[in-house]
Structure 1
Amino acid sequence: MEQTQSIKDLIVDIDEKKVYLPEFQRDFVWEISKTYDLFDSLIKDIFIGAIIFGIPSFDIAIREIDNRKKIAKGRRRPSLVVKTITKKEIEDINKVGGNFRLILDGQQRTTSIYRALKGTDEVWFISKNEDEIEAGSFENAKLEELLEEISGEQDPERLSIRLSDVWDIEQNDYDEDEIRDKFFYTTAYYKMYSSDEEFDRKAEFKKFRNLRKKIADLFKSEKLLSYYLLDMNLEKFVVFFERSNTRGVQLNFIDILAAKLYTGNFNLKEKIKEFEIQNPNIYLIPEIIVRSIAFIKSSPKEIDRNYILTSLNADDFKRWWDSACKLYKVTLDFLYQNNFIISQEWMPYDNMIIPLMNFLQEVGGDFHRMNLNQKKFIEYWYWNSIFSLRYSGSSNERIIEDSNILIQIAREKKINSSSYFNRLSKIQTLSTDDIYSFDKKANAVYKGILNLINYEKSGLINWNNDAKLSLNSSLEDHHIYPKNYLNQLLTTENEKDLIDCVANRTLMPKIQNIKISDQAPSKYLNEIKDLNKNIEKSLDNHLITTDLLNGEYDNEFSFFIELRANSIFEIIKKRLIDTRDLIKDEFYEEIKYDEAVNINVYSTYKGKKAEATFNPATAKVFFKGKLYASPSAAAIAVKIENGASDTATENGWTFWKFTDENGIEKRINDLRK
């Protein structure tokens, strides 16, 4: 019989040791971006699937929910508690209302929720600004209407609240002063705007409390183990089918779009099939082409699924499909020929193709037309985006921003946003030790490291010969020291934790990987040397010391892994870290305004558009015949004129917007000194 349970009750049950996992359940493997999607679905009341519990009628080994911090720098995490619980113990617990149960299906969802609320994983609710919500105020808006995005970090330009802070406040008897001092005053939003004359601390704290209460109410509502009626808008309909199975058939966004376009005599599925027949060596990702078309058509730029499904039509695809496919092919060819990728399968972020396609279109459809400076910037942008995990969340916003930036570079113009360079510089590998923590193919930095070696060496070559690995090579991330060999050789857990580390991996054809088996490095390498007398060249090409051939390193895994990690980090330092200041000096230009320069600004409040002029040099706004000393003062005047109370507050730097010379809508905070 189906039952319901709130998030709050589930977390409490886990803390009270009423909920466990069978010991044989797979480990928690979700990337953090899936946690963001999960909370996005919960907030939007999109069905996430039922969690299935079971009460075993036999003795069974169980383990706790994985609430360990992510592994870093090759250190070993503490083991999860595993114990055996007997049938009688289970019966005794449940006789007194203990409600002991095991999670049979839904471990990833449960663990994600638990880790987020306990603060193990950073998960932030980023709120819209008050002028962006239809209800007109935080108090009247539903939680879904307030949501801008779920992210791994707070947004200094928007009111943000960490989900674990909401849980902390709910579980502890903090008074108002403690909540304000401990949680609100420490936000980046407060620190950024609290010095503004028009910033009303009391009113902003009230918004913070209101948002916290709404999130707390979400935790208390019965969401997880309940049925949901499919009464949802088109966007939610798409999300539902992308995130769930219906009778074993997985539908996706492209399937639904194809059905829509078919009514306009554009057969999307046939066009996809046609591309695949004509280009057998290229893997087509239809969503990239679709989002590219959305970018071309929209102004301001929008590429989300809701815009695509509601605003794009068959005529748009008839007009731009073929040209977008050509840009796609040329971009992939450029990435491969210039060694940015080894193969499509190993590209860290497929969505990074879209900004490059927009750059390519701007320079005339041929990468040979770009100059040396443009190539230099693309190199910096590409690698820093990967190593900073830039596309791990909010990819639509990243695609739009990066597309606009690369279009600027294509036009040989400077970039006016200093914060853009700061975001690119937040890479995950600032020391050799950081290399050790990357051991999963799903991680973009893991793929990025293998691709960066390929880039540094102007293309990886096959170990059997000197031929460059092709774009469509079937490659595996082979263990240089085979896994089975190391499991027999190594004695300490710290060493074993590094077996799967990227520093012990390199890419090679699958058939070769099978032949290697679990032999000592010197043994299998010398067997390959019988086929390729120049094996030393191949090893050097893969950043592998040729000393492995003589057998002296067979028992020195730790020394080898440190040696190779150092070599990898030297490339990262040269390509990413050492070039930061040089790139910024060359491509950044601060916008300079004098007091005679005003720009047209606008905003919408409760569906009514307000227009004014803004002077970036003085930060004054001229609205309806009156000069206001700050953007916030003018924003408040707009709100009062449209029915808000005299005590209304507003952050003017995010309230007012302008359209730049490229037709891109921006907030005046981009012009702030």
Structure 2
Amino acid sequence: MKISQIIDKIDEKQLFIPAFQREYVWKRKNAKDLVSSLIQDYPTGTMLTWETNYPPELKGEHKYDERQGAVKLILDGQQRITTLYMLMTGNIPPYYKKHEILVDIRNLYVNVQTLVLEYYKITIMQNDPLWVNITDIFQGKIRYRDVIHQLEVNLDGERVEREKSDLIDDNFRAIEKIKDRDFQEQIIPPKASLKEAIDIFYIVNASGVNLTDAELALAQISGYWPEARDLFKTKLVQLEKDGYVFKLDFIVYVLLGILHNMGSKLDKLHSQDNKENIKKAWKRLDEDVLDYVFNVLKSQAYIDHTKEVNSVYAFVPIIVYAYNKGSKKLTQIEIKKVIKWFYYSQIRQRYVSQLQQKLDKDIGIVAKDENPFDKLLSIIAAERPLEISKDEFVGIGISHALWGLMNFYFKSKGAICFTTGINIRKNMGKKYELEWDHIFPYSLLKLEGYNRNNRVKYSLAQEITNRAILTQLGNRKKSNHLAEGYLEDTSIHFPDALEKQCIPQDKELWKMENFELFLEKRRILLAKELNYFLNNITETNYESLDMDIVEMIMSGENSQVEFKTTMRYDMRENKVNKKLEQVILKTLAAFSNGQGGTLIMGVTDEQDIIGLENDYKTLKDANKDEFELHLRNLINQNYGVDFATNNIEITFPEVNETEICVVEIKQGLRPVYTEITDKNGGKSKRFYVRSGNSSQEIDITEVAQYINQRFETVV
């Protein structure tokens, strides 16, 4: 079907979008890429349609009337079609309202000489006739001759070169021809039932990356319960007004947890057999449970907005727990245990990776265990230390979960804005919205070298220990005043304000020359205060668990876990590669120079367990003893016997009858340098640290500063 015909049929109410389709989610880049592909005559995918006399609920205000007879539905391709409708007509398609289009992709301009696509930029496009709104081309409002005429006016009547004129003409034709491009149509047989049509829709999408498992599950739910999507959206709008912002997939995970006590296998929601149970569960969620849970968290955990939260999926086990209590509400002890676990789930990043598998485990415990949040906290403690170290604050910004915890803690103490004296809870009016201010102004720190040219210094300027929470009005009043004077004024006008946001009281630390000492003292203070805060929420009877190696692998790589396929065998070249040994050493050093960690060899980045046989066959005696001896010799030669003896523990567990190597690296007391050989045989000392789930080299100009921050004593 031609694109122009698709647009016409939508306007003529002959082509519809079913309500179970997800919303319009494309970004401007997606729209640009689509138009670029169409101009260049590249393939742009197919369209899946279904003509039926028994359609499900339709998107938009149109209601199906049996007298219409059969109607045609677009089951796959609506993101592209919606994009083209807006760009070609300049209007929102009739199956959406304006507020439902979160990203308006109109106002796309094309340079008709180069075919570069950009959204309107006044400084570039205002006086350049080569930049034309692509909608005006589609609608015939601007033609090739109009552009040539304006170019010649700008040239004081001089004619445009023939070659340039022809190129612009060709480009106009290429754009205009898009209307006549065919979208290959795949057609579901009219005799198919709604369930069969959705199953086909599922298969088409499952073969690509267009929809998530949760979105596909929601499509199935909407198929057998047409009102579901609108009901869910209405509730999410209500929650958003109270600061709790979620996508529809969040509701799907909640329903899966309630109905099936799991966080994976979302296809369990596909069957129509779920309909009555989902409707019953949703009624309670909508009328009571969701409001109850979020009111508890707002009032007692000080969570005013989901932007303060590292992962909203930590709410899912809590909601399932509250739902399973039936008509009973949580006791105060239960609430405190929930809150304590929630805080740790955030700062220890429980759901950053392997979301579905972890929800599976956690919801299973919630469903069966008498004291589930004690057990859930035990699992986190087995993965990561619960106690917060002062070193964890070094170089981390406001996107880190510790910043969220600082927010919750400050609010629990009744913290106020340093300038206005207003409490830092969610406030009324834009002027009193909360902002995250640099205590030592970044504009002044830049002048002292704390800028992007020095990665370590820049990270210190942005560190959360250089942040305070102010109202917007307070932040504007404070401006870029020196910390010394600003904090002094605060201590006079609001004597308790600094203490409630853990600002060191020693006024010498407020001077610019003592900036880094201020950060260090505040790290110590924050670690102490936050640990006390968490420990005293409630007493938790959690047992000490050793994290199972399988669970560690399933949890994926993170700042404290890294996988390596081999120690020295190159899987691509099928031979020994000494450079891989350097990579192993680099990883060990990075862990030691950071917070410590675990290196697992014999496991791929994709978490496939392949074992050590490839490495074994490169050694004299093809066994784990020879492997360990070789590894320890490498460590001894590069970092010394003391490091190998006191900082490293090597074990060889079996997983699925396959032997792997696990190296536990302690947090080092001294900096460790790694000697790297370049392709010319030259050797140099490098300094590595962990950054996320990888090992990164720190520039030599920044090493001394990192060492001073990281190591209390350098011997």
TM over 0.5: no
User: TM-score, structure 2 length as denominator?
Assistant: 0.41
Higher RCO (CA-CA < 8 Å; seq separation 6+): 1
